[in-house]
Amino acid sequence: MHTFEHLRHVRFPLIQGAGTIPAVGFGTLIPNPVAAKQAIKVALEVGFRHLDCAELYRNEDVVGAAMHEAFEAGTVSREELFVTTKLWNNNHRPERVKLAFEASMRRLQLDYLDCYLIHTPFAFQPGDEQYPMNEQGEPIYDSGVTLVETWRAMERLVDEGRCKSIGLSDITLPKLKEIVAIARIKPAVVEVECHPFLPEWELLEFCQQHGIVLLAFAPLGHGMEPRITDDPVIKAIAQRADMTPAQVALAWAVQRGVAFLTTSTNPAHIQENFDISSLPENAMRDMQHRITTSVRLNAVVETGVPGFVPRRA
């Protein structure tokens, strides 16, 4: 029998007194609204206390409805829940940041946010179009705004007390360093693709030196090929530790100090992803040194355009 208490309730401190973030989080990128609402409600019932949202996902209203039903049912209170959402690329101009934030808050039916992230460092042409494209089908970038200017607008949201912490997503280490160097309010969270096939050790070291929480999306590799759950090293550890391969990958994340976001519409997977217990030291070493697959699954960090196929369910 495992004592699951150990990892599922871990929280990491956020810098500048912004509280703590649960290590174990649930992502809301589920295009089907009925499936999304159901999965979010199951995740909250199981015990997930971090929901990761985005204006890009076009379902903040669904997340808001699911959260409020859970509040009313007494499953969880607003104060117990950590909610993140993200500013999309067409809203980087400083005068658009607050409007985009307020629109997200209305859809989520919240009066404060725990964490607001710049979804990618790529500014697209300002306007209502989420993917402004030229005739060649390439994104139209906006050279009229810098990431620093957008960051200053994010800082003002914290000043105004609407948002407890701010951060960045889909960012490379050199760009992160630029923001850390100029920030009055430092990034509290950096959300990037991170899993056993893309461990991001250098980025993690920088984040830990600066008190930034690295938040992994795709901790199970988006469920895509090559499958993390089929890796022979991970499968062998799972067998030795009496866990599933998914639990090994998730426990490894938390034990190295990384918070994660999984997503599932399968209640058994949702439960499994919450019920994680710690790995022995030799398993942590095997994860670091014996896994040979190395792959980035999502090209968003290079272009600002999500580079994977979202689930159909």
**Interacting residue with ligand NAP among 122, 217, 252, 274 (CB under 6 A):** 217
Contact partners, residue 163, CB within 8 Å, separation at least 6: 101, 112, 113, 114, 115, 116, 154, 157
Q: Is residue 23 near ligand NAP by the rule CB under 6 A?
A: no
Complex with ligand NAP: residue 18 or 249, whichever CB lies closer? 249
**Interacting residue with ligand NAP among 22, 121, 196, 219 (CB under 6 A):** 219
Q: How far is the CB of 151 from ligand NAP (least distance, A)?
A: 17
**Interacting residue with ligand NAP among 33, 126, 132, 223 (CB under 6 A):** 223
Name the residue among 109, 19, 122 with its Cα closest to residue 69. Answer: 109
Give the burial class of 246: count Cβ atoms within 10 A of its Cβ; 0-12 exposed, 13-18 middle, 19 or more buried.
buried
Using the contact rule CB under 6 A, the part of the chain among 140-148, 214-222, 230-238, 251-259 near ligand NAP is: 214-222
How far is the C-alpha of 113 from the C-alpha of 206, rounded, in Å?
26
**Interacting residue with ligand NAP among 142, 200, 272, 286 (CB under 6 A):** 272
Under rule CB under 6 A, which residues in 89-128 are in contact with ligand NAP? none
Under rule CB under 6 A, which residues in 34-63 are in contact with ligand NAP? 52
CA 131 to mean position of chain CA atoms: 21
Residues annotated catalytic, as ranges: 57
Name the residue among 217, 201, 302 with its Cα closest to residue 256. Answer: 201
Q: Which residues are 12's β-sheet partners? A: 21
Asked, as a colleague might, if the bond just before 226 is cis with ω within 30 of 0, I would say yes
> Which residues bind to ligand NAP, rule: CB under 6 A?
27-29, 52, 169-170, 191, 217-223, 229, 246, 261-266, 269, 272-273, 298, 300, 311
